[in-house]
Structure 1
Amino acid sequence: MSTVTASSPEKERGLLARIVATPSAGPLLVLVVFCIIFSLINDRFLAEQNLSLILQQTVVVGTLAIGQTLIILTAGIDLAVGAICVLGTIIAGKLADGGYDPVLSMAVAVVLCTASGAVAGGLISGLRLPPFIVTLGTLGIITAALRLISAGGAFPVDDDFLGWTGNGDAYFGFVVTYGVLGMLVLYGAIWYLLNQTKWGRHVYAIGNNPEAARLVGIPVRRHLLSVYVLAGFIYGVAAWLALGRIPNADPNALQTANLDSITAVVIGGTSLFGGRGGLVGTLIGALIVGVLRNGLTLAGIDPLWQDLITGILVIAAVAFDQLSRGRR
């Protein structure tokens, strides 16, 4: 009896098919294409200082996108990510400025951000209200509260601990801040939760079909609440990273954070319909947003056009996701 072995070209085609089928392969290709285009437009794009700047500029949006990914995986959406993060910066800055211990001030800010996520999650899981409406209402409430707390104006936050995440070390001209390291640690921790624990498998199951998940014994409401609580905690950590990036508490900051975080998640391959996607793609998506804004700035493109292009990318990514779901 003779055995037939696959030829080398067939093996190569099989390997190529597996690579193409990887959810993060498409976003990675987009990232590489953007880098090539912007490096041809401006030779400063690939300079160590500029690449380091892109990574630092990605820290806040990239961290917010972690929480956004968790929520979108459950077929929800969070329109208050930027407002909750700004709430953390305002509270921490106000308390530290008032003479309170900076560690305690940051801890209180993170707790309040977590509580904001818990309230939204409670309304969504307990009363079964639409995530869009709940988070939109949360956005309005927190935005008004921020203006009242800060008296409508920005103020500097010069405490060393609150700005510590902006410090870092240089390696051959490439600066790596503690904020960047913190973001990567968060990605690793939440990736582990999603991919290596029962909790993560339940999150995907709820996003695919909440009724089916309930019928097999998954406590859907409790898991939904835990997702929003964890997302709120992540937004609080992002507030600390934001103070390290820009040591200034401004109620009008991060106005594009909602769009940018959703863009990073959707471009990264996570479906807005829930149940499909992951954090590797989200990280690549966040880098795409950072590269796009940085490259367009170096090219002298007006920021309004940058927002327009970002919006087009979101619509294109959602349309592609819809078409792929239809084919499946």
Structure 2
Amino acid sequence: MSADTPVKDDPAAATGGPRGRSIPPWLRRLADVNEVWTFGVLVLLVVFFTAARPSTFLTSYDVTQIATNAAIYLVLAVGMTYVIIVAGIDLSVGSVLVLSAVLSAEYTIHHGGAKAGWGTIAVSTVIALVTGLVWGAMQGWLVAKAKVPPLIVTLGGFGAALGIAEIITGGQDPTGAVSNHLQHAIGFGKLFGQIPWLVVIAFATTLVFGLVLAFTRFGRYTYAIGSNPEAARRVGINVDRHLVKVYALVGLLSGLGSVMWLAYFGTTSIAGHATDNLTVITAVVLGGASLFGGRGSVLGTLIGVFIPAVLSTGLIIMGVQQYWQDVAIGVVLVAAVYLDQFRRRGRERA
């Protein structure tokens, strides 16, 4: 028998690998899915903290608090997912949230304050959404039409939006900025008495824009532009207009986040959003989105938002100082980016 003739009865020869080491194709495809790796990290964290503190971690109270605390960041992260997929960045989301909250609060203060009714709440909500939408569209125009790098545009937007908010308020959180009706119904209210309305709003937003990204032409254009903007132009996609829409979207969701923040905390918290952009970008990158553009998903972002949330809660329960919590989250982020680059090089070699 020739040395080049395969043994017909050898199962290893049929699969093209050494005996006993063949990997089913479905398992290989599953291993290539970013969300699987991200979910695996989340599961490992839950298992570790549950084993370390079985009587105190992941109680029903913990689950509710983790979900509620992550809700606003999840809304912001959904918008950031689109921006990162088109190979952009937005460092201004926290400041846009503050500006939207301040303008919304100013209207509420002058139309009933804490005793304002649902009419005032509706108008103030529209003000917050429109503020975020317009600010995001303006930044998108500077990126798409003026060709200013998104890092510079949104870094400038970060300072400008916060500065305008401080000028309007004198740097102080105004009193009577939130209607009691909004706080009791949305901030503290629960669907069926079990699920906080903030969580419902966040997951509904995630579902809608996840479906848009995965199954609509808008989503396909987003991936195409992030992968190769010149190729996207050649096939007829209006890249500049789409970029404006993407940045307008993240601004709109920042406005929505401001309404949720006002409802839950009852204040504009002008000085409390300096690191929102880093928190949100961390979640999106942990969710498998590539900072080089062209790859990412809202499902991955959903998982990525809960990794820092679970990590922080677990470390608090274990009595770890806040400083070490920040270190741990930073290490996880760097590890996630390194893994992304490692897998990227592996695919290129293959």
Q: 1:176 aligns with which of 183, 187, 195?
A: 195
C-alpha spacing 1:10/1:243, structure 2 compared with 1 (3 Å): farther
How big is the shift at 1:257?
Answer: 1.1
1:90-109 aligned at under 5 Å gives the runs 90-99=102-111, 101-109=120-128
Identity of aligned residues (%): 35
* Secondary structure of 1:248 counterpart: coil
Partner deviation per Cα, 1:160-191 (whole Å, 9 max, x = no partner)? 344232233377xx941111111111111111
Q: 2:227 aligns with which of 195, 202, 208?
A: 208
* Secondary structure of 2:108 counterpart: helix
Q: 2:188 aligns with which of 138, 150, 167?
A: 167
Q: Is the 8 A contact 2:83 2:90 kept in 1?
A: yes
* Secondary structure of 1:24 counterpart: helix
* Higher gyration radius (CA): 2
1:245 aligns to what?
Answer: 264
Quote the Cα distance in structure 1 between the aligned partners of 2:104 and 2:322: 29
1:29-108 aligned at under 5 Å gives the runs 29-42=40-53, 43-99=55-111, 101-108=120-127
Q: Is the 8 A contact 1:90 1:250 kept in 2?
A: no
Quote the Cα distance in structure 2 between the aligned partners of 1:161 and 1:78: 33
Quote the Cα distance in structure 2 between the aligned partners of 1:139 and 1:32: 34
1:127 aligns to what?
Answer: 146
Quote the Cα distance in structure 1 between the aligned partners of 2:23 and 2:37: 19
Q: Is the 8 A contact 1:66 1:279 kept in 2?
A: yes
* Secondary structure of 1:263 counterpart: helix
Partner deviation per Cα, 1:109-143 (whole Å, 9 max, x = no partner)? 21011111011000000111111010000001112
2:238 aligns to what?
Answer: 219
Partner deviation per Cα, 1:81-130 (whole Å, 9 max, x = no partner)? 11111222222122101116221112112101111101100000011111
1:190 aligns to what?
Answer: 209
Q: Is the 8 A contact 1:263 1:313 kept in 2?
A: no
Quote the Cα distance in structure 2 between the aligned partners of 1:257 and 1:229: 18
1:327 aligns to what?
Answer: 346
Quote the Cα distance in structure 1 between the aligned partners of 2:340 and 2:34: 11
2:31 aligns to what?
Answer: 20
Quote the Cα distance in structure 2 between the aligned partners of 1:315 and 1:240: 32
Quote the Cα distance in structure 1 between the aligned partners of 2:57 and 2:189: 21
* Secondary structure of 2:337 counterpart: helix
Quote the Cα distance in structure 1 between the aligned partners of 2:178 and 2:249: 28
Gaps of 5+ in 1: none
Per mean C-alpha deviation after superposition, the further-off stretch among 12-21 and 45-54 is 12-21
Task: Report how many aligned residue pairs link the two structures.
Answer: 321
Quote the Cα distance in structure 1 between the aligned partners of 2:72 and 2:169: 21
Q: Is the 8 A contact 2:224 2:232 kept in 1?
A: yes
2:318 aligns to what?
Answer: 299
* Amino acid aligned to 2:213: L
C-alpha spacing 1:155/1:292, structure 2 compared with 1 (3 Å): farther
Gaps of 5+ in 2: 1-10, 113-119
* Amino acid aligned to 1:39: T
Q: Is the 8 A contact 2:128 2:256 kept in 1?
A: no
Partner deviation per Cα, 1:278-314 (whole Å, 9 max, x = no partner)? 0000000001121111112222222222222222222
Per mean C-alpha deviation after superposition, the further-off stretch among 280-289 and 315-324 is 315-324
Moved beyond 4 Å, runs of 4+: 9-12
Quote the Cα distance in structure 2 between the aligned partners of 1:68 and 1:258: 9
How big is the shift at 1:243?
Answer: 1.8
| 1:232 lines up with 2:244 in the alignment | no
C-alpha spacing 1:144/1:131, structure 2 compared with 1 (3 Å): same
Q: Is the 8 A contact 1:150 1:251 kept in 2?
A: no
How big is the shift at 1:206?
Answer: 0.3
